[in-house]
Chain A
Amino acid sequence: GAVVSQHPSWVICKSGTSVKIECRSLDFQATTMFWYRQFPKQSLMLMATSNEGSKATYEQGVEKDKFLINHASLTLSTLTVTSAHPEDSSFYICSARRGTSEWETDTQYFGPGTRLTVL
């Protein structure tokens, strides 16, 4: 299989605090992981692409200093929402790309998501 876990599954925090979300590929190595954001009844919006050992590539409009991404190992990527505000409340989903070929589009396997509520 291709299992991706996320922790925590949900988190409630006060405005101004930082929240860290972990994404792990449990049974395969993932050189590339992705972070998405999903609002209710909407599609997934790609926030950033995370490559192991290098800086993340952020999509246009995503604040790098607010959404810190670290991909320190082939099985772990973290997303830190810094100084969270109510508008950051959303469903955050990570995915891991299985495979390392630059020319092959390998399947992305998704984590179960983290529901963030900022009060």
Chain B
Amino acid sequence: AQKVTQAQTEISVVEKEDVTLDCVYETRDTTYYLFWYKQPPSGELVFLIRRNSFDEQNEISGRYSWNFQKSTSSFNFTITASQVVDSAVYFCALSEMGYSTLTFGKGTMLLVSP
């Protein structure tokens, strides 16, 4: 069975601080996909990134970066120089090869204060 754990329930930072959101996953499959979604107060989930299990390269997109490590089954998300607009709930999700359903973590609420 697959499982996604986001141990941090809530994180509070002050603007311009860097923050890392942790995601640890469990799966028996060797081929799988990992996702991060952002859910701002409006409620709509915004897709941030999708990685497959064969691609362990870290990725950077502006202030966002992702660190994928198969050895520790982790897919952590770092926001550099956080901004108030980054305040949201962030979900990590996993999907196994051949299945279209997502298994979500419980989410991490990030509050960035001015």
Contact = CB atoms under 8 A, between A and B. Distances in A.
Interface string B78-114: 0000000000000100011111111011110100000
A46 B44 contact: no
Interface string A95-119: 1010000110111111111010000
A91 interface: yes
17 contacts: A2-B47, A34-B100, A41-B109, A46-B101, A49-B101, A95-B45, A97-B100, A103-B98, A105-B33, A105-B52, A105-B96, A108-B47, A109-B47, A110-B44, A110-B47, A111-B44, A112-B43
Contacts of A32: 100
Given A42-B106, A43-B105, A113 B99 contact: no
Interface of A: 2, 32, 34, 41-44, 46, 49, 91, 93, 95, 97, 102-103, 105-113, 115
A106 B100 contact: yes
B55 to A, nearest CB: 13
Contact of B102 (A42, A46, A112): A46
A112 B99 CA distance: 24
A65 to B, nearest CB: 22
A43 B91 contact: yes
Interface residues of B, number: 26
Interface centre among A2, A108, A112 (most CB of B within 10 A): A108
B44 A105 contact: no
B97 A107 contact: no
Contacts of B52: 105
Contact of A110 (B45, B99, B107): B45
Contacts of A103: 97-98
A95 B50 CA distance: 15
B86 to A, nearest CB: 19
